[in-house]
Amino acid sequence: MPKSKRDRPVTLSKTKKKGREHKESIVNGIREAVERYSSVYVFSFKNMRNIKFKEFRQQFRTNGRFFLGSNKVMQVALGRSASDEIRPGIFKASKLCTLLLTLLLHGDAGLLVTDMPKEEVESLFNAYEDSDFSRTGSTAVETVELKEGPLEQFTHEMEPFLRKQGMPVRLNKGTVELLSDFVVCEEGKPLSPESSRILRLLGIKLATFKLNLVCRWSPSDFELYRQGLDLLDVETS
């Protein structure tokens, strides 16, 4: 008996895996930028928000380029050691990408290549910080607990949805009432999908998107910004 066509799985979306060509374009892009601009900065970030980062990048649109990608790819572009570095001393910035991620355990690093004066770059990075709602799986930075009693911030239509999120609620004369104290999230523990939804409904933003400068390279000097990183570690790693 012929196999029914109805049983065949159908792929609704197709994604092309980024391969060698993509990596080579990043390497070439970084090398071209380093040749064009005078300074290279390594920065770290957590809680990346693409729209917010795009807004931040606009401040460098006329005199700089940002690169976010594989740490190994960035190392290849800059040089892993003094013997294969593309500019004198720039391999230290490459080494710091790896050292930084090892120390942070979690997080990411990127590159900024620019002609903007050092003081202006530092000012823009230090001043930028943006709060946002935490996503599922992220670690809660504080404990949020709701006390027993009426939840007047919610309309009566929300009661069924809140119950689906695990909250012990009922309607009491048209008002949503919490029957007992309820812990939405605990500090240091990952957020569940339900916790993330409740925090958003409460308007509580626990995630902070911030860019932190790690080091700066220029033809004349190399500077560390992040405390706890030893230049000796970079030289010997």
- Of 113-122, 202-211, 215-224, the one with minimum mean pLDDT is 215-224
Check: CB of residue 111 under 8 Å from CB of residue 70: no
| Residue 41: exposure state from Cβ atoms within 10 A (0-12, 13-18, ≥19) | buried
Residue 8 has pLDDT above 80, yes or no: no
> What pLDDT was estimated at residue 28?
84
The residue length of the chain stands at 237
> What pLDDT was estimated at residue 210?
87
> What pLDDT was estimated at residue 166?
93
Is pTM beyond 0.75? Reply is no
Residue 173 has pLDDT above 80, yes or no: yes
Q: In the chain, what percentage of residues exceed pLDDT 70?
A: 72
Neighbours of 182 (CB within 10 A): 19
> What pLDDT was estimated at residue 199?
95
> What pLDDT was estimated at residue 178?
94
Confidence band, pLDDT 50/70/90 cuts, at residue 51: confident
The residues pairing with 45 across neighbouring beta strands, listed in sequence order, are 108, 211
Check: CB of residue 131 under 8 Å from CB of residue 142: no
User: How far, in Å, CA of 191 to CA of 2, rounded?
Assistant: 48
- Of 16-20, 57-61, 150-154, the one with minimum mean pLDDT is 16-20
- Of 6-15, 85-94, 138-147, 211-220, the one with minimum mean pLDDT is 6-15
pLDDT digits (tens, 9 = 90+) for 213-237: 988 888 888 888 866 555 444 444 4
Q: Which residues contact 190 (CB under 8 A, 6 or more apart)?
A: 137, 138, 139, 140
With CA atoms as reference, report the closest residue to 86 among 28, 22, 26, 19: 28
Mean pLDDT across 129-142: 90
Q: Which residues contact 133 (CB under 8 A, 6 or more apart)?
A: 196, 199, 200, 204, 205, 206, 207
Please, what sign has the CA dihedral across residues 169, 170, 171, 177?
A: negative
Confidence band, pLDDT 50/70/90 cuts, at residue 105: very low
Confidence band, pLDDT 50/70/90 cuts, at residue 106: very low
> What pLDDT was estimated at residue 191?
94
- Give the chain's mean pLDDT: 80
User: How far, in Å, CA of 39 to CA of 222, rounded?
Assistant: 10
Q: Which residues of 45-70 are buried (b: 16+ CB within 10 A; e: fewer)?
A: bebeeeebbeebeeebeeebbbbebe
Q: In the chain, what percentage of residues exceed pLDDT 90?
A: 38
- Of 20-24, 94-98, 115-119, 140-144, the one with minimum mean pLDDT is 94-98
Confidence band, pLDDT 50/70/90 cuts, at residue 91: low
Check: CB of residue 94 under 8 Å from CB of residue 80: yes
